[in-house]
Amino acid sequence: MKKLIAFIFAVIIMITVCGCGNVTKADIMLTPSQRYSEKELTTAANITKTYFMMNYDGCTLNYISYNDDVNEKKREDNLFRYLNPDRAGNIKDIVQFDVSYTDKDNAEKTKDYIVARYENSGWEILDHGV
């Protein structure tokens, strides 16, 4: 619970301090997963949301979507693709989100985000724009 409160506090500070991507009206759409709890997926989606806010100045996040069928079909390929022998610990979990946003020129774009959790670590963005 303390980590959640600290995370929320950090996000509020980041919003007030920097010019950031707009995430206020973004929908998070998650299909039920055979592998991940709703809490795990929500946490990973929130990491994606925070990354967008910090790195897409002037853009608006429309939605983050998780489809369990798509994720399960691509899971093994993603695990192999993002295997990093130089990193301590192995990837414990990996998810793929479909992220839609409107850019500075008002063009709607969609990207895949790969979010992973390593052993003894939290979720982190591995790739975006796949």
Residue 90 pLDDT grade (very low, low, confident, very high; cuts 50, 70, 90)? confident
- Tell whether 2 is covered by a domain: no
pLDDT at 91: 84
- Condensed to tens digits (0 to 9), the pLDDT of residues 41-62 reads 999 999 999 999 999 999 999 9
- Tell whether 10 is covered by a domain: no
Give the closest residue to 68 by CA, choosing from 41, 28, 101: 41
- Tell whether 122 is covered by a domain: yes
Give me the percent of the chain exceeding a pLDDT of 90: 65
- 50: domain range? 22-128
- Tell whether 13 is covered by a domain: no
- Tell whether 119 is covered by a domain: yes
- Tell whether 106 is covered by a domain: yes
Give the closest residue to 56 by CA, choosing from 7, 103, 112: 103
Rounded Cα gap, residues 36 and 11, in angstroms: 24
- Tell whether 97 is covered by a domain: yes
Rounded Cα gap, residues 30 and 54, in angstroms: 23
Residue 17 pLDDT grade (very low, low, confident, very high; cuts 50, 70, 90)? very low
Residue 3 pLDDT grade (very low, low, confident, very high; cuts 50, 70, 90)? low
Query: In which region does residue 45 sit, left (phi positive, over 0), alpha (psi from -120 to 50) or beta (all else)?
Result: alpha
Asked whether the whole model's pTM tops 0.75, one would answer yes
Domain count, the chain: 1
Mean pLDDT of the region 103-123: 91
- Tell whether 15 is covered by a domain: no
